[in-house]
Structure 1
């Protein structure tokens, strides 16, 4: 008896994907699994390699890791022309709501927390490609790339943190200059308010799992961030930096403010 091919598998055979992840093991395992299901799969270790491959090949979809050293996945996503670039599924080891909201607002087509089940990733890829196929090559809808997207701000103690623009603003809308490490550290603290966070946790989530692990590194970063939250011309009547980021002896740090999204 003649067995008809699954329509999803027929679509897979004509589809080229790009997997972007700094971890070579995850890169190759993901690519191998997707290739076994009929996709043509290329890989890239960072944003520069991804852009070089985009210049040479045409891809239907990019699987993009968020937490990468140097240029992270959200920065890479922001740099893409979403009207002309492939569909994007972002993966994040943190799996926090803020990452998901920001990624989707920046034009990602779907979001999946790591470690991702390979079969769920396959199902998400097929779903995204099916939606694109149903548009019959039409231009991506305006809703997928709004001119002025709704911003997901985080507010605490008179301050406003803008994850999309990667900015911290005081009550007078003055931008406080933060280094990339300081911004990542503040995001990690704000996403886990009123919880004791160990130094290892803060290192893993603010600098990546490949960061050099030593207590003094995170202590220095916390000290710098406290000073910037301690500005004399900052929001009046609010907690100072030392009070907002409290040291918990022998354990780590706690962000003491309530956070509104």
Structure 2
């Protein structure tokens, strides 16, 4: 309708060019919008529907930051796909009906369909683990030990009206929402509201660690975290990052042109 939409990051700052994994971990809105527009909003809507969202969605850019009304059950449905390596199984409130002796009278069949490729889902899940280690979900360590690997994502709407958290362990998936029924600000971010509830629930459930298994098309490559260029384990600050085979960075960091400690260039070449 001719109105201008000007999204901003939560901290009101622009962070320039950032790697996608860091943008998601830190909940940078501008990076998310740029990515969504590059992919195409209609393609994002189509993917959401394939992940299990059934209601009609308007293909507006604001959808890329979650400006769409979904229930916690609907959010749990598409996070279930992330937790199941790309396989969707419709969530049900009733598993079976039994008689007075506990014998099943009727069972609801398990419907499973692969709706996303395991490789991209693995990359996303690794990123959701990073959210919990170094991003907006790091407050979970008040409830769960550092060694327990879990994945999740915080969500905060404008004026702190809604506080969201969705996440999963190796055996549990849960979604928490905190808000007011009159749509007034609740005054809570995803970290200060929904994450607290999620953490308390998970602590009581004593969950199993996530233990992600990388698909065959995933390779780990040493990269320079500042540039994203190819690096090596002996380079200062280098980190091993997962890539879908064939999508590894081609540009080499300056470190690869330097002598390896304890070896010459030719020794490294033949090594």
Q: Which has the higher helix share?
A: 1
TM class by smaller structure: under 0.3
TM-score, reference length from structure 2: 0.24
Give me the TM-score of the superposition, normalised by structure 1.
Answer: 0.24
